[in-house]
Amino acid sequence: MPKDRRKLVRLTWKRFQGAIMMLVRSEQGPRALVFAATLVVMMIAINGLNVLNSYVGRDFMSAIENKNFAGFQAEGIMYAVVFVLSSVVLALYRFTEERLGILWREQLTSKLTEAYLTDRTYYRLDSATGVANPDQRISDDVRAFTTTTLSFMLLILNGTLTAISFSGVLWSISPLLFSVAVGYAVVGSAMTILLGKPLIRLNYHQLDMEANFRSDLIHVRENSESIALAHREGRFKARLKNRLDSLTYNFRRLIRINRNLAFFTNGYNYFIQIIPALIIAPYFIAGKVEFGVITQSTMAFATLLGAFSLIVTQFQSISAFSAVTARLHILSEAIEKTHHTHPCAIRIEEAPGKVIYENVTLRSSDNSRVLVENLNLEVKQGSRWLFTGPDDASKVALFRATASVWDCGSGKIVRPGLDDILFLPERPYLPPGALRDVLLRTGMENVTLDEEIIAVLRKLGLEETVERAGGLGADKDWDDVFSIGEQHMLSIARIFLAKPAFVYLDRPGSSLPKSQISTILDMLAAQSIAVVILSKNGESRLHYDSCLEIKPDGSWEVHHDAAAGGAGDAADLRDLSC
Mind giving me the DSSP string for 222-268?
HTHHHHHHHT-HHHHHHHHHHHHHHHHHHHHHHHHHHHHHHHHHHHH
Longest dimension (CA), the chain: 118
Does 489 or 446 have the greater pLDDT score?
Answer: 489
- The counts of H helices and E strands in the chain are 19, 12
So what's the pLDDT on residue 385? 93
CATH 1.20.1560.10 residue ranges of the chain are 3-340
Q: How confident is the model at residue 124 (pLDDT cuts 50, 70, 90)?
A: low
pLDDT of residue 577: 40
pLDDT above 70 covers a percentage of the chain that reads 84
Cα 273–Cα 278–Cα 284 angle in degrees, nearest 5: 115
**pLDDT recorded at residue 9:** 55
Alpha helices (H) along 118-141: 121-129, 134-136
pLDDT averaged over the chain? 79
The 10s digit of each residue's pLDDT in 282-321 is 777 777 777 777 777 777 777 776 766 666 666 666 666 6
d(CA 479, CA 464) in angstroms, rounded, equals 18
Q: Stretch 368-397: mean pLDDT, rounded?
A: 90
Return the higher-pLDDT residue of 33 and 112.
Answer: 33
> Among the listed ranges 322-336, 496-510, 527-541, which one has the minimum average pLDDT value?
322-336
Domain 346-430+482-576 belongs to what topology?
Answer: Rossmann fold (3.40.50)
| Segment 518-566, tens digit of pLDDT | 888 989 988 889 999 998 766 777 888 899 999 989 999 998 863 333 3
d(CA 103, CA 542): 58
Q: Which regions of the chain carry the CATH code 3.40.50.300?
A: 346-430+482-576
Does the CA dihedral 237-238-239-243 come out positive or negative?
A: positive
Dihedral over alpha carbons 44, 47, 52, 58 (to 10 degrees): -170
What's the pTM value of the predicted model, to 2 decimals?
0.58
Beta bridge partners of 379: 355
Please determine, for residue 322, whether its predicted confidence score (pLDDT) is greater than 90: no
Mean pLDDT of 565-573: 36
Torsion sign across C-alpha atoms 30, 35, 38, 44: negative
Q: 3-340 has which CATH code?
A: 1.20.1560.10
Which range, of 342-351, 397-406, 436-445, 499-508, averages the lowest pLDDT? 342-351
Q: List for the chain the helix, strand, coil content (%; round to 5).
A: 70, 10, 20
Question: Which amino acid is located at 215 in the chain?
Answer: S
Q: How many CB atoms lie within 10 A of CB 294?
A: 20
Looking at 309-318, 322-331, 420-429, 476-485, which range is the least confident one? 309-318
